[in-house]
Amino acid sequence: KRVGILISGRGSNMRSLIAAAAVPGFPAEIELVISNVGNAEGLGFAAKADIPTIVIPHKAYETREAFDRALDTALNNAGIDIVCLAGFMRILSDWFVQRWEGRLLNIHPSLLPLFKGTHVHEQVLLSGMRVSGCTVHYVVPELDAGPIIAQAAVPVAIDDTPETLAARVLVEEHRLYPAALKLLAEERVWLENGRAVFARS
């Protein structure tokens, strides 16, 4: 399976996907990295790993739909089968999400359906919860609401700051995202009637 990754920044999840896909036998190849931000830190790493990179600056497009059409065209031109959002900070239109339905994944740094949106670790600390974690899910039009493919949990420490909690969750993100992509690429999970269905065995 040919995978495209969309980023806006640091790209550490992108790096974990690239590293996993480089291992012989992994069922997917990272064929393209697209950023909507020209100076995203992740772009340099992708280029060094010999992965084609494209910058599609959202500001150059008058509407969300026009930007999303440009994304869609770039992905199709590269023959992409699966799209992984990895710190991609743009909301995608329903049109795009529907076109890529069942083939579009996101990683979110909380145990969804809790703590959607931004400032996630602040939300968790304010809630008083003693565990947090991360979620890989199918993307649906509603933000951070898609069917869940995989989750990992971490403890919340009594002296955590948003930064220390984020760092603990990120370690799990880097393990979880490649595992979830593997499931999808091997067709051991699929989307059926709005639910994630898993192969037995």
Q: Which residues bind ligand GRF (CB under 6 A)?
A: 9-14, 86-87, 107-109, 170, 173
Q: Is 92 annotated as a binding residue?
A: yes
Instruction: Consult the annotation and say whether 106 binds a ligand.
Output: yes
174 assigned to active site: no
Element housing 18 (H / E): helix 12-21
Question: Hey, CA dihedral for 188, 171, 88, 108, is it positive or negative?
Answer: positive
Alpha helices in 22-155 (DSSP H): 41-48, 64-77, 94-99, 120-127
Could you tell me whether strands 131-138 and 104-108 are parallel, antiparallel, or unpaired per DSSP bridges? Answer: antiparallel
Instruction: Flag whether 11 is marked binding.
Output: yes
Q: Is 129 marked within a binding site? A: no
End-to-end CA distance of the chain: 22
The least CB distance from residue 107 to ligand GRF, in Å, is: 4
Q: How far is CA 87 from CA 5, 42, 90, 108, 197, in A?
A: 10, 10, 9, 9, 25
Task: Say whether 14 counts as a known binding-site residue.
Answer: no
Instruction: Check 58, 108, 121, 174 and give the catalytic one.
Output: 108
Question: Closest CB to ligand GRF among 9 and 102?
Answer: 9
What angle (nearest 5°) sits at the alpha carbon of residue 125, between those of residues 121 and 129? 110
Query: In the bound complex, which residue of the shown chain has the CB atom lying closest to ligand GRF?
Result: 87
119 and 40 Cβ atoms separated by less than 8 Å: no
In whole angstroms, how close is the CB of 109 to ligand GRF at the nearest point?
A: 4
Distance of alpha carbon 95 from alpha carbon 80, whole angstroms: 17
Task: List the structure tokens of 98.
Answer: 């529907």
CB of 201 to ligand GRF, least distance (A): 30
- Shortest approach of ligand GRF to residue 10 CB, angstroms? 4
Residues making up the chain, counted from first to last: 201
Binding site as annotated, residues: 11-13, 64, 89-92, 106
**Which residues are annotated as catalytic?**
108
